[in-house]
Chain A
């Protein structure tokens, strides 16, 4: 008996489902960052607002990368519903704490897909995911560095103003 499912699609139903979940996660990240951009802007943290606008755009690109991969492999990409976006934050610091939490949860979820693909010996998808693993290194680094600024600069006096100014300069340039 011919493997008709394989003829149709390179990825298994399970991997397709996981990738679609990731599409949704990236869309959620994008919306969360957009909401953070709004909060920062409203509270006078313009550099951070710009930073989050950029992050929101990046997450959108991640979403599309997954989306197109599913389609290219013969799967069914599902446009996600995104709900429950938090609009208010209690403090400037809380925004960055949640940004890091979000990135960590994305890394974990990509690791999950990777593990599943290894189990199925779906090396093609593993290779596709490599780009995201590297990306998460940068994403977590940046989010962690932003939080570090709260420690090294301190929030007292003009601290928050200083922190905001430095958020825009955070860069990750590792050759490794």
Chain B
């Protein structure tokens, strides 16, 4: 699935969510996430991850599908004040959206579990 993860440093990464097209990992030590998508692994803090999600969700996929212009079928995902930019095709946008959706569901689930399990345990 992912070929970029041979680096030994990455052993502390925890799987958050993955699809056939990509994956998101969390690093507790660095307090950030690594998004493996479109051939690169990029590091995001919480603020930037939210921005990425927002940028992807804001692409009007339906409108793009119906568009008949001859413009290339490419979307640039530029995230303000973060280091990464993605240049993606429509199919990749759909895949990234799926990845973001799954990631945030898992993060939310993790929040709920942590709250319910450890709040009572301490």
- Interface set of A (CB-CB < 8 Å, partner B): 1-8, 12-13, 121
Contacts of A8 in B (CB 8 A): 46
A-B contacts besides A1-B110, A4-B33, 14 pairs, CB < 8 Å: A1-B14, A1-B26, A1-B28, A2-B28, A2-B31, A3-B110, A3-B111, A4-B32, A4-B46, A5-B46, A5-B108, A6-B111, A6-B115, A8-B46
B82: Cβ under 8 A from any A Cβ:
no
B107 with A121: CB separation less than 8 A: no
The distance from the CB of B75 to the nearest CB of chain A, in whole angstroms, is 24
Cα of A53 to Cα of B107 in the assembled complex, Å: 45
Chain B contact residues, CB within 8 Å of chain A: 14, 16, 26, 28, 31-33, 46, 107-108, 110-111, 114-115
Closest to B15 in A: A1
Between A and B, 17 residue pairs with Cβ closer than 8 Å are A1-B14, A1-B26, A1-B28, A2-B26, A2-B28, A2-B31, A3-B115, A4-B26, A4-B31, A4-B32, A4-B33, A4-B46, A4-B107, A6-B111, A8-B46, A12-B108, A12-B111
B31 touches A3 (CB 8 A): no
Q: How far, in angstroms, from A4 to B110 measured CA to CA in the complex?
A: 9
Q: Give CA–CA (A60, B28) in the complex, Å.
A: 40
A residues less than 8 Å from B115 (CB atoms): 3, 6, 121
Instruction: Decide if the interface of chain A is mainly helix, strand, loop or mixed.
Output: helix
Chain B proximity of A121: nearest CB distance (Å) = 7
What is the CB-to-nearest-CB distance from A54 to chain B, in angstroms, rounded to a whole number?
38
| Chain A residues within 8 Å of B111, by CB | 3, 5-6, 12
The docked-state distance in angstroms from the alpha carbon of A13 to that of B46 is 12
Within the assembled complex, what's the spacing in Å between the Cα atoms of A1 and B46?
15
CB proximity of A157 to chain B, nearest CB, Å:
59
Which among A2, A4, A7, A12 has the greatest number of chain B C-beta atoms within 10 A?
A4
CB distance from A53 to the nearest CB of B (A): 38
Q: Collect the chain B residues with CB atoms within 8 Å of residue A5's CB.
A: 46, 107-108, 111
Q: In whole angstroms, how far apart are the Cα atoms of A121 and B48 in the complex?
A: 27
Q: Chain B's nearest CB lies how many Å from the CB of A19?
A: 16
- In the bound complex, CA of A2 to CA of B23 (Å): 18
Q: How far is the CB of A16 from chain B (nearest CB, A)?
A: 10
5 nearest A-B residue pairs (beta carbon): A2-B28, A3-B114, A1-B14, A8-B46, A3-B111
A6 contacts B114, CB within 8 Å? yes
What chain A residues lie within 8 Å of B14 (beta carbons)? Answer: 1
